Structure 1
């Protein structure tokens, strides 16, 4: 089975480059020089990437053997495909940003924020969480830290390592206003509880 990753648009310049409509979430990985694509119609390919560069937000590709504007024009409308064995496994385990944004982030039974975005990085993805106080927290999107994603019930379950979320600050034994044995440790110049000014 094959997956379409791009559709060729109009020529760019006179040296055989073409614009492409990108249909993949990882263009930096899919269009590197040397990558070979199956093409529809088959008579136009296969095509091997010779160069890839961005002109603002438009991807420009050059292909081996395509050296003139006329040759590039002949490719207009052609669809580029790659084998999907690797991609199928990734897609089964992956999530798109629009599926995650708005989901509650839970640590146990506590709701610690909501997902506001997803940052896709070469090493690992990061979930962007907005805490109730407006603070932005980044969570590595790995199974050890995010063991459960439940889109149907609109939440993810997180098991954060120490320090990732400071959600237990008020339960650390230093809760402000907790009284206790602090009477003998009041700061100089400050009245202790029960003092009359």
Structure 2
């Protein structure tokens, strides 16, 4: 299975309870958005292994996952500390004005005063905040993903409009 066809939704933290359930930390998705998902893929040795979902519950970024054939705390320990993936085709739609990190790579960033300033080369997390990593004149610039900086995101045009304070790019 090619990683390019999948996106990371989180990470298995540790066993939970006595029946093989695990605690997971979710990135960018809410457990409610994953209702009815039949299969998740766990990374092991740079490969993705499919697991059939019996249940997934929780709120926010914390959830409890139960998969088939994992029925004891010991077997749950065997899938702990592994990244969780879904096929990109199964990705829940992001809300208007929001995005998944990998969706905005190569988007053109346009500043209200300066015009086109560069392309997004990545997205970083800094605590609870996300930062766009922008290639600006060969330098890496970090732009917080929140107002007042981000004005709009146009996925069809692959464009992000920003309004940066004067001198922001000179730092």
TM-score (structure 1 length as normaliser): 0.44
Higher relative contact order (CA 8 A, sep 6+): 2
| Higher strand residue share | 2
TM-score (structure 2 length as normaliser): 0.50
